[in-house]
Structure 1
Amino acid sequence: MDVANPRTYQRATETATHIRSALPETLQNPKVAIVCGSGLGGLADTIEAEPKVELAYGDIPNFPRSTVQGHAGKFVFGLIGPQRLPVALLVGRAHFYEGHSMDLVTFATRVCKVLGIETMVVTNAAGGLNQDYAVGDIVCLNDHLNLPGMVGINPLRGPNVEEWGVRFPPLSDAYDLDLRRRAHRAWRKLGLDKQKRRIHEGVYAFVVGPTYETRAECRMLRTLGADVVGMSTVPEIVIARHSGMRVLAFSLVTNIAVLEAGPRGDDEAIQAMSKSELHVHLSKGKATHEEVLESGREAAKDVQALIKQVLSDYSQD
Structure 2
Amino acid sequence: MNLSLSNSPMVGGVIRGLYLSNVLTGPHNTHSFTFPCTFSVHAYQLSDAPVSDLKHLTEDDDVNDDLLTENAATVLELPNASTSGLWDTLVYDADVKNTLLRYIYATLRFSSNDVDANIISWNRIVLLHGPPGTGKTSLAKALAHKLSIRLSEVYVSGKLVEINAHSLFSKWFSESGKLVQQLFELINILCDDEAVFVTLLIDEVESLTGARQAAVNGNEPSDAIRVVNALLTQIDKLKQRKNVLIIATSNITNALDDAFVDRADIQQYIGNPSFDAVKSILHGCLDELVSKKLVISGDGHLDKVASLCVQKNVSGRFLRKLPLLAFANAAHHLPNTAQVVDAMYACVHDKRETE
Larger Rg: 2
Structure with greater helix share of residues: 2
| Structure number with higher relative contact order (C-alpha < 8 Å, ≥ 6 residues apart) | 1
